Amino acid sequence: MDKLGKFKDKIWEFRLWLSKKLWYGRDPDETMAKRFKLFLIVGISLIASGKFLHLAGFPIPNIEPIIPLIMVMGAFSLYMGKSEKWDRIRKYAGIIAIASVFVIDLIFWGVQKIYLFTWPGFIMILLIAKMKDLSFFDKFSDIAVEATITAAVAIILFDIFTAFGFWLLWRPLTLGALYGVFIAQIPFTFYHLGSLIFVPPVVGFGKMVSRVKMRVPVAVKAGAKARERR
């Protein structure tokens, strides 16, 4: 076998090993827990990387995955199996994700007054998400729509809250100045709502990881040969 053929075999063996480690378990219960763990890790990683992209103004300024991902991770129930450690990680996943945003902010921007409003704004979004308690086992179209609407409300509230903070910190404390800040905020919020494009793919990924084949006993007539449906 030539070197290229051996290399392809190694790649194939690695893919099989990786799928067993990350995607499949010894039984449906372990498989589902393993996949939701992967979803959790990917979500936290995307929030952190999304902050880097947002700071770089990519792909489009004001369109970012951070708020949609925080909302989705907080709104959906994630099964982590019987592991107490992973159950604690699940409970505090939103806080872990937001903490990554805080660290990146401090590293790249240092201490800024606006954090008095942006950081509590992220926590507010997580609390709103926790109130939803959605499930990936429901119909995709239903949960995608509900998650998108919730994310839209979260973005609007976040923008209102941070605009109010901008007025308190840097503008004259008059109603006229507050009115001007909110008017100037409208175009930004329309752009920001473009971030909703991230919600359906993330929900779709969550729906995909929840699809685990299980053996279900099927009732048969007396005397008939027993069978199982996958």
For 14-69, what is each residue's pLDDT tens digit? 777 767 777 788 788 888 888 888 888 888 888 878 777 766 666 566 788 889 98
Instruction: Tell me the C-alpha distance between 155 and 135, whole Å.
Output: 22
How sure is the predictor about 1, in pLDDT bands with cuts at 50, 70 and 90?
A: low
CA proximity to 202, closest of 53, 58, 76, 48: 76
Instruction: Tell me the C-alpha distance between 139 and 199, whole Å.
Output: 15
Contacts of residue 73, defined as CB under 8 A and 6 or more positions apart, other chains included, come to 40, 43, 44, 47, 93, 94, 97, 129
Would residue 86 count as lying in a domain?
A: yes
CA distances from 78 to 103, 134, 149 (A): 25, 10, 20
Q: What is the 3-state secondary structure (H, E, C) of 95-117?
A: HHHHHHHHHHHHHHHCCCCCHHH
Least confident of 85-89, 112-116, 206-210: 85-89
Q: Identify the residue with better confidence: 2 or 129.
A: 129
Would residue 216 count as lying in a domain?
A: no
Would residue 110 count as lying in a domain?
A: yes
Instruction: Tell me the C-alpha distance between 43 and 95, whole Å.
Output: 12
Per-residue model confidence (pLDDT) at position 77: 80
Would residue 9 count as lying in a domain?
A: no
Q: Within 10 Å of residue 104's Cβ, how many Cβ atoms?
A: 18
Would residue 75 count as lying in a domain?
A: yes
Q: What is the mean pLDDT of residues 141-154?
A: 94
**CA max distance for the chain:** 85
Instruction: Tell me the C-alpha distance between 135 and 77, whole Å.
Output: 6
Rounded to the nearest 5°, which phi and psi values hold at 63?
Answer: -105, 110
Rounded to the nearest 5°, which phi and psi values hold at 59?
Answer: -80, -30
Instruction: Tell me the C-alpha distance between 125 and 117, whole Å.
Output: 12
Per-residue model confidence (pLDDT) at position 133: 83
Q: Please state whether the predicted TM-score (pTM) of the whole model is above 0.75.
A: yes
**High-pLDDT (> 90) share of the chain, %:** 37
Would residue 154 count as lying in a domain?
A: yes
Would residue 1 count as lying in a domain?
A: no
Would residue 169 count as lying in a domain?
A: yes
Domain residue limits at 78: 26-210
How sure is the predictor about 230, in pLDDT bands with cuts at 50, 70 and 90?
A: very low
Per-residue model confidence (pLDDT) at position 83: 79
- In degrees, rounded to 5, the angle at the alpha carbon of residue 124 between the alpha carbons of residues 151 and 79 is 70
Per-residue model confidence (pLDDT) at position 74: 87
User: What's the number of domains the chain is made of?
Assistant: 1
Top mean-pLDDT range of 198-202, 207-211, 222-226: 198-202
